[in-house]
Structure 1
Amino acid sequence: MLEALLWGAVAASSLIVGAVAGVLRDWNARLVGLVLGFGAGALVASISFELAETGFRLGGAVAVAVGLAAGAIVFYIADRAIDRKEASNASGLSLLLGALLDGIPEQAVLGIGIADGHGVSLALLVAIFVSNLPEAIGSATDMRSARRSTGWILLTWTAIAILCAAATIVGYQLQEIAGAQWRGGINGFAAGALLVMLVGSMIPEATQKAGEKAGLAAVLGFAVAAGLSFAA
């Protein structure tokens, strides 16, 4: 469990790094888009080679299919609620909530993999770390523009990072007590939630900010994460 907490903290630390970067200076939108593209490609590789493949092996097609549907629906409903909040709130709070919503299933899967005896997934770790950065940078920048204090911004993002790191422990415990089908379903749930997030927000935002170069960054991210996955 200590190992799961350690790696969960490493992955979540990029939220704090991004928040610090956001309050210190303004960032070029194209650079943020390229980082988003890289993170999206890395997450696609992690979903394919870490979540779906492992889920099918553990629980079979039915468990993964049920998990995929559940994860997609839960994320979609929660994301719609965030979108409605965003329409009346331009202070960056919606991005903060989105980071929490994305981070919980991502980091739970880290704990699941560690409890399964395969150690930390470097591919998923890199994908989470990179994809967290632009969300935190963008939200912290918006909060600063809304005249939130630096201390409040950093404290809030630290709390989000702690909650995301705690999700790693939850994943670890679930994997310890759940049977093979439940474990496959958990992997499917995380994959479904992440796929909806990727198609609905992360990839469109990357393309909006970086144009067609976002696709090149995504391929690079996919290649790096896939290489790390196979190397492990």
Structure 2
Amino acid sequence: MLTALTWGSVAAVSLVLGAFLGLGRKWPAGAVGGVLAFGAGALISSVAFELAQEGLRLGSPVSVAIGLAVGALTFFWADKLVERIGGRSGGGAAGLPLALGALLDGIPEQAVLGIGLAAGHGVSVALLVAIFVSNVPEAVGSASDMRQAGKSARSVVGLWVVVVVVCTMATVGGYALADVTGGELKAGIDGFAAGALLVMLVDSMIPEAAKKAGNKAGLATVLGFAVAAALSNLS
């Protein structure tokens, strides 16, 4: 259990690191867009090579498809709720969809991490680096957007600390449930993360990257995809 808590913290702390980077200086719009595009490419690779592929290896296509649908709908409706809350408060929902995407991806992703640790598979350095590659840009972009929208640094960091704690506990939860979790449920968990990520990417992350980085966003996306795909292959 302590091992799961340690590795879960190591994986999730990249989100707080990204938030501090986003708040530490005033990032030009083009730089934020480039970081977001790089992270989007890394997340596309994660969906293709880590989540969907691993889900199909562990369980049936039906389990992956159900998880995919539930994850997509969960993000869709949760994002709608975030927009309503932001609109009523007058502060807008700047950056919150990225934080929501990180949460909805991080919970199932780190639950699977905990399950793997309980099964004795261990954690590879390549996998941890891959998590950082996708997590940091999300947090940088979200923190920068929220700060520009007038959110205080304390509230931004506090939000990401909550995300980190929840994701870390998901690792512990996955470790504890490993003995009663079958391949079909694991496949559904992977599908859930993939569905939530795909909706977040198309609705929030990629449009924001293209808006801020222009036609350079495509090149940064390809670079992020290539780096994450290489790390996935190593892991």
Partner of 2:167: 164
RMSD of aligned alpha carbons:
2.4
Match of 2:74 in 1: 74
- Matches of 1:173 and 1:136, distance apart in 2: 32
Closer, same or farther in 2 for the Cα pair 1:41/1:25, shift >3 Å? same
Pairing 1:138–2:145 present: yes
Counterpart position of 1:128: 135
2:210 is matched with 207
How far did residue 141 of structure 1 move?
4.0
In structure 2, runs of 5+ residues without a counterpart are: none
Contact 1:15 1:136 in 2 (8 A): no
CA 1:93–1:200: 2 relative to 1, 3 Å: closer
Cα distance, 1:217 vs structure 2: 0.6
Contact 1:175/1:183 (CA < 8 Å) preserved in 2? Answer: no
**Maintained 8 Å contact 1:22/1:139:** no
Partners of 2:87 and 2:162 in 1: CA distance: 24
Relative distance call for 1:132 and 1:22 in structure 2 (3 A) is: closer
Matches within 5 A, 1:52-201: 52-89=52-89, 91=91, 95-96=95-96, 98-116=98-116, 117-120=120-123, 121-122=127-128, 123-142=130-149, 145-146=150-151, 148=152, 150-201=153-204
User: Taking every aligned residue pair, what percent have the same amino acid on both sides?
Assistant: 46
What is the number of equivalent residue pairs in this alignment? 228
Q: For 1:27, what is the secondary structure of its paired residue?
A: coil
Check the 8 A contact 1:40/1:218 in 2, yes or no. Answer: yes
Once residues 34 and 178 of structure 2 are traced to their aligned partners in structure 1, the CA distance between those partners, rounded to angstroms, is 34
Please, what TM-score do these two structures have when normalized by structure 1? 0.85
Counterpart residue identity of residue 205, structure 2: M
Q: CA deviation at 1:111?
A: 3.5
Q: 1:231 aligns with which of 214, 218, 234?
A: 234
Tell me the distance in 1 between the aligned counterparts of 2:22 and 2:136: 16
Question: How far off is 1:90 after superposition?
Answer: 5.0
Offset of 1:106 from its aligned partner?
2.4
User: How far is 1:174 from its partner?
Assistant: 4.3
- The 8 Å contact of residues 59 and 181 in structure 1, kept in 2 or not, is answered as yes
The alpha-carbon deviation at position 109 of structure 1 amounts to 1.2
Residues 36 and 206, structure 1, Cα contact 8 Å, conserved in 2: yes
Partners of 1:188 and 1:9 lie apart in 2 by 23
TM score, norm. by length of structure 2:
0.84
- For residues 74-108 of structure 1, the C-alpha deviation after alignment (integer angstroms, 9 at most, x for no partner) is 11111111122233345466634751453243243
Deviations 1:104-125 (A, max 9, x none): 4324313413523444434344
Q: CA deviation at 1:189?
A: 0.9
